[in-house]
Amino acid sequence: MSKTKNYCYGFCFLVSITINILFSINLYVGGGDKKQDESSVGLSWSTKAAAEAEYVASISCSGHGRAYLDGSIYEGEPICECYDCYVGADCAELSPGCAADANSGDPIFMEPFWMQNAADSAVVISGWHRMSYRYADYTTMSIELEKYIRKMHSIVGNAVTEGRYLVFGIGSTQLLNAAVYALSSENSSTPSNVLASIPFYSIYKAQTMFFNSENFQFEGDTNSWQSNNSTNNMDVVEFVTSPNNPDGELKTSVLGGKTIYDHAYFWPHFTPITGPSDHDLMIFTLSKLTGHAGTRFGWAVIKDKDVYEKVLNYISVADLGISKDTQLRVLKLLKKAVEGDGKPIFEFAYNKMRDRWERLSSVFSKSTRFSIQQRHPLHCNFFNETRLPSPAYAWVKCEREEESDCGAVLEAGNIKGRSGSIFSAKDRYVRLSLIKSQDDFELLLQRLTELVSLENSGVETM
């Protein structure tokens, strides 16, 4: 009897030790990072905001639009904002004959990823969140956010950030001019020459001319400038856009002077990542990384301390820093984006772009009237395989001698693109955006298919 009792005590003791070990593991390993979830903290003031956010997000808009908390209200209810070509109170009707609008670079193609990851990407902002102009360390940039940006670059392997300075801007747009300002000569009797290689993103010219400084002036195309000027003692600031907008080319400097590397599209969904970019001044944007163009956030990675201080000073004089609400949101998004070493987000984005390119290439392969840029495979270190690039834009050429205004030819086929002259190239070229919503892409493909089949049936629109 006492033997049985002893066995029983021994067994209970063992069970008790096992349970204690399991509890300790859970406490120090599982819950040891003090990660809080809804079960560990009683929610109070955030529940109303959360309910409002979930309510507005639940308004379906037939999948062809969205309702927003800051959108218009009709009879006390938020109304649907319909995507292009969809109309009606719930965006259910496709407007007949509506033109496919492939003009803007709005990166809505990423929206489904964030909807699939709704719980991990929502942010709650208290009414008293960071009301100060500055953080506790007297800076205007979040150290935690900076950490995640560096982490993102090291995961992707697209830029060297060790030993480099970071500056945040209101979108990369603000940093482009901050960089021109920082690289131009202040004491020279003549202004620095700002250049880019045709075809180039129009903002470079527009901003440089708009800010109309004594220290810099826009001089246009690098190649023409080089053939007309001596390369000695040249005071140039060259924009190098890699991959390029509009044609997706990986570019390098033509003039070999001071450079601003605009890496807006240097992410694995647009181009194979062949190695980390290691230039003195590189600019990136959240817009084409996670798709949050509306958040208006970009960053510069800078080697030289003086240049860094000038860029920082520009941002400080222009804005006293970047919105703290924006920085909180970007932090939340990047925390999600770096999960799984970036594989989920970049696989989602790459698959979407690859699918669009495959379908687009198949349409253009049936045409002799229109062509698109050639794509060449490269080894992508991030995905560890050789892949074709899948640029954000198709750079379409009208091949027929007489069709020198390609924008007009496409317009007649009910397609809106961005004409070549906006990129200082010929109007024989048109840029078509491939990063808009799925609805936009489907309509674009449908209109292009119609245009190409007309070409093959001998009936034409122009």
Report the interface residues with ligand PLP, using CB under 6 A.
105, 171-173, 201, 241, 245, 262, 264, 285, 287, 293, 298
Q: Which residue is nearest to ligand PLP (CB)?
A: 171
Q: How far is the CB of 68 from ligand PLP (least distance, A)?
A: 19
Can you tell me the distance from the alpha carbon of 319 to that of 377, in angstroms, rounded to the nearest whole number?
A: 42
Q: How far apart are the first and last CA of the chain?
A: 103
Q: How far is the CB of 292 from ligand PLP (least distance, A)?
A: 9
Contacts of 290 (CB under 8 A, 6+ apart): 110, 114, 333, 334, 337, 345
Output 171 or 257, the one with its CB closest to ligand PLP. Answer: 171
Can you tell me the distance from the alpha carbon of 241 to that of 251, in angstroms, rounded to the nearest whole number?
A: 6
Q: How far is the CB of 293 from ligand PLP (least distance, A)?
A: 5
Can you tell me the distance from the alpha carbon of 11 to that of 29, in angstroms, rounded to the nearest whole number?
A: 27
Output 78 or 243, the one with its CB closest to ligand PLP. Answer: 243
β-sheet bridge partners, residue 301: 166, 282
Can you tell me the distance from the alpha carbon of 426 to that of 437, in angstroms, rounded to the nearest whole number?
A: 28
Output 179 or 452, the one with its CB closest to ligand PLP. Answer: 179
Q: How far is the CB of 262 from ligand PLP (least distance, A)?
A: 5
Output 269 or 369, the one with its CB closest to ligand PLP. Answer: 269
Can you tell me the distance from the alpha carbon of 322 to that of 302, in angstroms, rounded to the nearest whole number?
A: 18
Q: How far is the CB of 283 from ligand PLP (least distance, A)?
A: 7
What's phi and psi for 381, nearest 5 deg? -65, -30
The beta strand positions in 55-124, using DSSP E, are: 65-66, 73-74, 77-78, 81-82, 86-87, 93-94, 100-101
Q: How far is the CB of 128 from ligand PLP (least distance, A)?
A: 29
Output 298 or 420, the one with its CB closest to ligand PLP. Answer: 298
Q: How many CB atoms lie within 10 A of CB 84?
A: 18
C-alpha radius of gyration, the chain, whole number: 27
β-sheet bridge partners, residue 387: 378
Strands of 298-302's sheet in order across: 165-169, 298-302, 281-285, 258-262, 236-241, 192-196, 216-221
Q: How far is the CB of 452 from ligand PLP (least distance, A)?
A: 27
Output 90 or 262, the one with its CB closest to ligand PLP. Answer: 262
Element (H, E) at 196: strand 192-196
Output 64 or 279, the one with its CB closest to ligand PLP. Answer: 279
Output 327 or 414, the one with its CB closest to ligand PLP. Answer: 327
* Number of H-type helices and E-type strands within the chain: 14, 21
Q: How far is the CB of 294 from ligand PLP (least distance, A)?
A: 9
Which residue, among 394, 427, 426, has the nearest Cα to 408 in the 3D structure?
Answer: 427
Contact 421, 202 (CB under 8 A): no
Q: How far is the CB of 123 from ligand PLP (least distance, A)?
A: 19
Output 142 or 414, the one with its CB closest to ligand PLP. Answer: 142
